[in-house]
A = this chain, B = another copy of it.
C-alpha cells in the first residue's frame, strides 16, 4: 500500500494503521499516544522548564487556529508541514504567549502517495522540535479523488501568556517605533517561483520559521513591546493597516528602510507586484516603546531569524487608521490593505 485510500479515513482498521505507521512514529507525545478523544495536558507546570523566560504564569491561555492549503506542497525553503507548525506557533508568539501544544487535522485527497504524507509529517515533527512544542491531538479525513487538492492541514495551538504581558494590535501608541525583523516577501515569491517555474527560482528561499524563541528574547529585553504581528497573507502593508485600525493611530513608514531581498525586488518588478503585499512566514513587525528600541534591535539582530531587523517607521496620532509611506523620491502615499487576491494558496 503506497497511496492513501478512502478507507484510511473510515475510522476503522486502516485509519488505525495509518495513525500507527505514519503519525505516531513522528508525533510521540504521550497524551497523543493514549488515542483518547481529546488529549489531556497539564500546561500549568510546563513553562518553567520550557522557556528562556522566568515566568510566573497568569492563568491566561492563548488559542489560535490556521488551515494551510499551500500549493505546491514542497517549495524552496519549506513545505506545508513546516508552514503548518510555524504559522500557528507564530500566531501564539504574536500575543506574547509561550507556545506549548498543537493539534493537527489532515484533509487528504484519495490517492496521495504515502511517502509524501510521511515527509510532511517528518517536517512537522522537526519544526515542532525546533519550536519546543508538542503535537498532542490529531485527526485525519480522506476525501475522494478531486474532492480536495492533495493535502490540507489545520493546526490549532495552545500557549500560556505570562503574567503582566499584554501584546495586541490595539496597543500601538503615538511615538512608538515600528520594527520589522527582516526582509519582506521571501515566502510569497519562493512559493510562486516554485509553482510557476520562474527563472530566479533557485536564489529564493521561503523564510518559514518559528519565531517564538525570537519573541522570547525580545520580551526578555523589554517590557515595552506593544504590538507584534506576523505579516503573512496580505503582507506587511496589510498588517500595518490592521495595527493602525485596531489601535486607531497613524503609521508612517519609509520605503528605503524596508528590507527587500534583490530576488524579491526583481520578481516583483517583473510581475507587477508590490513587495508590501507579498506574504512572509518567518518575519514579524513589532511596535515598541521608543525607550527600548536600541536594546530590542540588538537582541533581534543577535537572533538567526532577525539578523536584518530594521526600524521602518513610527506611530503617529494622525491620520487615524491609515498607513503613510514616504517613497524613495520624497513623495508620500497611502498604503491600503491588499485589495483583491495576488497569490492564491500561498499558505
Nearest CB in chain B to that of A39: its residue: B63
Expressed in whole angstroms, the Cα–Cα distance for A337 and B18 within the complex equals: 14
Interface residues of A in 1-46 (CB under 8 A from B): 5-7, 9-16, 34-45
Question: Smallest CB–CB gap between A275 and chain B, Å?
Answer: 15
Q: Quick one: copies of this chain in the complex?
A: 2
Question: Smallest CB–CB gap between A1 and chain B, Å?
Answer: 13
Question: Do A344 and B9 touch (CB < 8 A)?
Answer: yes
Question: Residue A336 at the B interface, CB < 8 A?
Answer: yes
Residues in chain B near residue A69, CB distance under 8 A: 107, 141, 143, 147-148
Expressed in whole angstroms, the Cα–Cα distance for A345 and B339 within the complex equals: 35
Question: Residue A64 at the B interface, CB < 8 A?
Answer: yes
Question: Do A107 and B67 touch (CB < 8 A)?
Answer: yes
Interface residues as binary, A142-180 with B (CB distance below 8 Å gives 1, 0 otherwise): 111011110010101111010000001110000000000
Stretch at the interface among A95-103, A191-199, A202-210, A253-261: A95-103
Question: Residue A246 at the B interface, CB < 8 A?
Answer: yes
Contact A37 B229, CB 8 Å, known A107-B152, A148-B149, A336-B13: yes
Question: Do B38 and A95 touch (CB < 8 A)?
Answer: yes
Question: Do B65 and A138 touch (CB < 8 A)?
Answer: yes
Question: Do B39 and A232 touch (CB < 8 A)?
Answer: no
Question: Do B14 and A38 touch (CB < 8 A)?
Answer: no
Expressed in whole angstroms, the Cα–Cα distance for A84 and B131 within the complex equals: 29
Residues in chain B near residue A5, CB distance under 8 A: 341
Expressed in whole angstroms, the Cα–Cα distance for A229 and B104 within the complex equals: 20
Choose one: B14, B147, B336; the contact of A149 (CB below 8 Å): B147
Nearest CB in chain B to that of A239: its residue: B11
Question: Smallest CB–CB gap between A99 and chain B, Å?
Answer: 9
Question: Do B40 and A10 touch (CB < 8 A)?
Answer: no
Expressed in whole angstroms, the Cα–Cα distance for A277 and B10 within the complex equals: 10
Contact A147 B144, CB 8 Å, known A154-B105, A154-B154, A156-B65: no
Q: Interface extent on A, as a size class?
A: 35 or more
Interface residues of A in 101-133 (CB under 8 A from B): 101, 103-107
Interface residues as binary, A209-234 with B (CB distance below 8 Å gives 1, 0 otherwise): 00000000000000000001110111
Question: Residue A338 at the B interface, CB < 8 A?
Answer: yes
Question: Residue A340 at the B interface, CB < 8 A?
Answer: yes
Question: Residue A139 at the B interface, CB < 8 A?
Answer: yes
Interface residues of A in 243-280 (CB under 8 A from B): 246, 277, 279
Expressed in whole angstroms, the Cα–Cα distance for A230 and B36 within the complex equals: 11
Expressed in whole angstroms, the Cα–Cα distance for A40 and B10 within the complex equals: 35
Expressed in whole angstroms, the Cα–Cα distance for A103 and B92 within the complex equals: 13
Residues in chain B near residue A35, CB distance under 8 A: 169, 242, 246
Given A6-B341, A40-B62, A107-B107: 16 more A-B contacts, CB < 8 Å? A6-B344, A9-B344, A12-B277, A35-B169, A36-B169, A37-B228, A37-B230, A38-B94, A41-B60, A44-B59, A63-B158, A65-B103, A105-B105, A139-B154, A147-B345, A152-B152
Closest 5 CB pairs of A and B: A11-B233, A12-B338, A11-B234, A156-B156, A38-B64
